[in-house]
Structure 1
């Protein structure tokens, strides 16, 4: 079983949106997937409450039990666990980073937001975990994207080549208990999620030099 943690000490950067979309993508690819909601606000759990599809498992737990429940689902044959974390909760972020095989650190494309990422990067580096920054709520173009990426590189972080656009499909999907790729399967948001999932799989399963066909195989079935 692999563990993906989505961590940011900054609020409003799309952690739950990414967590739920990637969980749906993994489940659709045939992986036994569970999403652990460590946020006291339980946003992912409320999302699940409005969802009609019951094949995806989402459960809200206190961070102190994370290690135990990960062991339990590993023993039950789970393929992928995704951990959604709250902002401004260092202890919870530490626990999620410690348990992760790979960490996504989302940020809006604004220099001040990225500077707030510093604490999160220090936390992830403390455990020596592989990680990548992913830009969210991105405009189609603009100088802020280049400026943001320059700052992230200065912080010593890898940047995901996949950017998550500022698209209405994400917010509409969240309100309906769906993922963006479910409400608009042929849309740009669906493409972004699929590409980000393939990128995450490359890191989780330690594959290098992958072409498009290899990415699809990793996203669909590699363990």
Structure 2
């Protein structure tokens, strides 16, 4: 099983929206997916309540000591991908999520405040020896701010592609309990999320042996 965590101490970076969007995009490829909500704000739980599709499976987690057992149970149930949505702070639960993950995504909007706020998360991830990438989120349609922010983040570490634009489809989908690829499959937002999922999927499977990839495909 692969484990992906969305982490940053900055609120409003779009972690929950990205988590649901990526989960549904992965499901669109036939993957068995679970979401772990490690954020007391409850955005994903509320999204799940509005959702008519029983999948992806959503688990709420408040105790850092339970995360390892929960991940083991999900793997035993045949889940191919677990996505952890963490709180907007470097608390104990977020740190345990980083420990248990295969890959971390650090969302950041193209603002100096977001980029500065990403640095403590980056330090924690590097200290724990986890693989990571920044993802530039909620980008405006034009202006030099995006390219400047992308250059700044790229200088700090790996930058995921593509950038995710600030588009109403994301919030409309969240409000209906949908992934953006379900809400507007032909839209630009869906195209970006599918492309981002493709990039993330490559990172998750990079370095696996041929036998391991065959096993993962068999359970997906």
Same fold (TM over 0.5): yes
What do residues 164-219 of structure 1 show as CA deviations (whole Å, max 9, x unaligned)?
Answer: 100000010111111111111100011011001000111000069xxxxxxxxxxx
| Residue 197 of structure 2 is aligned to residue 197 of structure 1 | yes
Structure 2 matches for 1:60-79, cutoff 5 A? 60-62=60-62, 63-79=64-80
**SS state of the match for residue 162, structure 1?**
coil
* 4+ residue runs over 4 A deviation: none
1:8 aligns with 8
Structure 2: how far apart are the matches of 1:10 and 1:64?
Answer: 24
Structure 1: how far apart are the matches of 2:168 and 2:139?
Answer: 12
Structure 2: how far apart are the matches of 1:73 and 1:106?
Answer: 25
Structure 2: how far apart are the matches of 1:64 and 1:142?
Answer: 45
2:87 aligns with 86
Contact 1:26–1:33 under 8 Å retained in 2:
yes
Structure 2: how far apart are the matches of 1:165 and 1:153?
Answer: 18
1:39 aligns with 39
Structure 1: how far apart are the matches of 2:18 and 2:3?
Answer: 15
Structure 2 matches for 1:151-162, cutoff 5 A? 151-154=152-155, 156-162=156-162
What do residues 57-114 of structure 1 show as CA deviations (whole Å, max 9, x unaligned)?
Answer: 0111123311110011112211111000010242122111101101100000112210
Report how far residue 149 of structure 1 moved: 1.9
2:213 aligns with none
Structure 2: how far apart are the matches of 1:120 and 1:48?
Answer: 27
Contact 2:9–2:87 under 8 Å retained in 1:
yes
TM-score by length of 2: 0.91
**SS state of the match for residue 116, structure 1?**
helix
Tell me how many residue pairs correspond in the alignment.
212
Contact 2:139–2:166 under 8 Å retained in 1:
yes
Contact 2:33–2:82 under 8 Å retained in 1:
yes
Structure 2: how far apart are the matches of 1:161 and 1:50?
Answer: 30
| Residue 49 of structure 2 is aligned to residue 49 of structure 1 | yes
1:217 aligns with none
Contact 1:111–1:151 under 8 Å retained in 2:
no
Contact 2:33–2:57 under 8 Å retained in 1:
yes
1:140 aligns with 141
Contact 1:111–1:147 under 8 Å retained in 2:
no
Report how far residue 45 of structure 1 moved: 0.8
**SS state of the match for residue 165, structure 2?**
coil
Contact 1:39–1:85 under 8 Å retained in 2:
yes
* Structure 1: gaps (5+ residues): 209-220
